Amino acid sequence: MLARMTTKYFWEDFPVGQVREFGAMPVTRDAVLAFAREFDPQPFHVDDAAAERSLFGRLAASGWHTAAMAMRMMCDEYLLESASLGSPGLESLKWLKPVYPGDTLSVRLTTVEARPMASRPEVGLVRSKWEVLNQHREPVLAMEGWGMFRRRGT
Amino acid sequence: MLARMTTKYFWEDFPVGQVREFGAMPVTRDAVLAFAREFDPQPFHVDDAAAERSLFGRLAASGWHTAAMAMRMMCDEYLLESASLGSPGLESLKWLKPVYPGDTLSVRLTTVEARPMASRPEVGLVRSKWEVLNQHREPVLAMEGWGMFRRRGT
């Protein structure tokens, strides 16, 4: 159980145009197999021979695992110290390249839009673009969507 | 490790307008905590007291956990017996209602669009809508996106 951290980031701390880069998450074979066996046991995520015959060429992480790893990097970088109220959803999610065991992932976060919530003045909406990069700086996952944060001083 | 199953579903088996309902996945407290501690340790996903103070009202599953559980139901229902080639991504993902320990989830899958892939005639694209429902038949997650399947006889 994590202790409640100090709130450092409010809605005002995500201005439009801000770019943050963070994270260095190693993708291990054990983690790829554990996630896939539980949630996405398609042959190319759990079986080396089947993966070699697939479009991936070798064992690749479930796209949902990549998204979950990105979420963990976001939590560690800013969400756990933020006045986050959750997210209503994403407007797009693109799996651009396979993620393989041995890769190291990072996140580039860009604030695309920010506005107060009409119905709840103490809450602000932030529309963000998250790009997950591998160690070659190639984007492997791109997402755009909304987060809700409490406003400073409310 | 799962054995390679017989291929039963090709692109042709997902005609536009087809609706399938399936799955009955119990959401356990242990699974909610295990996923959240690994991937999304925001207070409302890992701490009862913090969750009570949040918009969720009580401990709620990470939205990524809900998506991963939906993926597992899709695998068990048809993907593992299909000529699936993976997915390029989603056009939307909406977290509509919280998912709580004790809930039971199911999936309603609708084929929205289907067309051969211009660049690869042996592959077909299927645009699907996935609605994840709780035991009250309330949608908790809605996604729309694309899957690639080999065509029959190729």
Comparing CB atoms, the residue among B42, B47, B94 nearest residue A84 is: B42
Q: What does the pLDDT look like over B129-141, one tens digit per residue?
A: 999 999 999 999 9
Chain B residues closer than 8 Å to A90 by CB: 90, 92-94
- Give first-to-last CA distance, chain B, whole Å: 27
Region A81-92 average pLDDT: 93
- In 3D space, the residue among B45, B44, B43 whose CA is nearest the CA of residue B35 turns out to be B45
A6, with CB counted inside 10 A (0-12, 13-18, 19+), is: exposed
Give the C-alpha separation, B52 to B7, whole Å.
46
- In 3D space, the residue among A68, A83, A69, A88 whose CA is nearest the CA of residue A128 turns out to be A88
- For an interface test with A, which of B4, B29, B33, B42 has the most A Cβ atoms less than 10 Å from its Cβ? B42
Side chain identity, residue B60: A
Instruction: Quickly count: other Cβ atoms within 10 Å of residue A148's Cβ.
Output: 18
pLDDT band at A3 (very low <50, low <70, confident <90, very high): very low
Q: What does the pLDDT look like over B16-74, one tens digit per residue?
A: 999 999 999 999 999 999 999 999 999 999 999 999 998 899 999 999 999 999 999 99
pLDDT above 80 for A61: yes
Region A81-110 average pLDDT: 96
- Summary mean pLDDT of chain B: 94
- In 3D space, the residue among A98, A87, A89 whose CA is nearest the CA of residue A65 turns out to be A98
Region B66-95 average pLDDT: 95
Give the C-alpha separation, B72 to B75, whole Å.
5
pLDDT band at B153 (very low <50, low <70, confident <90, very high): confident
pLDDT band at B4 (very low <50, low <70, confident <90, very high): low
Residue with tokens 């159980």: A1
Residue contact B85–A55, C-beta within 8 A: yes
Give the C-alpha separation, A148 to A10, whole Å.
10
pLDDT above 50 for A49: yes
- For an interface test with B, which of A4, A39, A72 has the most B Cβ atoms less than 10 Å from its Cβ? A39
Kindly report the nearest CA distance between residue A115 and chain B, in angstroms.
Answer: 19
pLDDT above 70 for A1: no
Give the C-alpha separation, A6 to A118, whole Å.
27
- Summary mean pLDDT of chain A: 94
A8, with CB counted inside 10 A (0-12, 13-18, 19+), is: exposed
Give the C-alpha separation, A97 to B130, whole Å.
23
Q: What does the pLDDT look like over A21-34, one tens digit per residue?
A: 999 999 999 999 99
Comparing CB atoms, the residue among B35, B41, B91 nearest residue A2 is: B41
Furthest-apart CA atoms within chain A: distance in Å: 56
Q: What is the pLDDT of residue A5?
A: 61
Give the C-alpha separation, A123 to A125, whole Å.
7
pLDDT band at B2 (very low <50, low <70, confident <90, very high): very low
Select the more confidently predicted residue: A5 or A114.
A114
Q: What is the pLDDT of residue B55?
A: 85
Region A78-82 average pLDDT: 94
Region B112-125 average pLDDT: 94
Tokens of A138: 């190639």
Q: What is the pLDDT of residue A83?
A: 92
Q: What is the pLDDT of residue A2?
A: 45
How crowded is the C-beta side of A95, counted as CA atoms within 13 Å? 22
Q: What is the pLDDT of residue B154?
A: 77
Q: What is the pLDDT of residue A55?
A: 85
Q: Residues A151, A122: contact at Cβ < 8 Å? A: yes
- Identify the weakest region by mean pLDDT among A6-15, A92-101, B1-10, B115-124: B1-10
Supply the DSSP string of B80-93, one letter for each residue.
Answer: GGBTB----EEEEE
Region A128-152 average pLDDT: 97
For chain B, percent of residues with pLDDT exceeding 90: 90
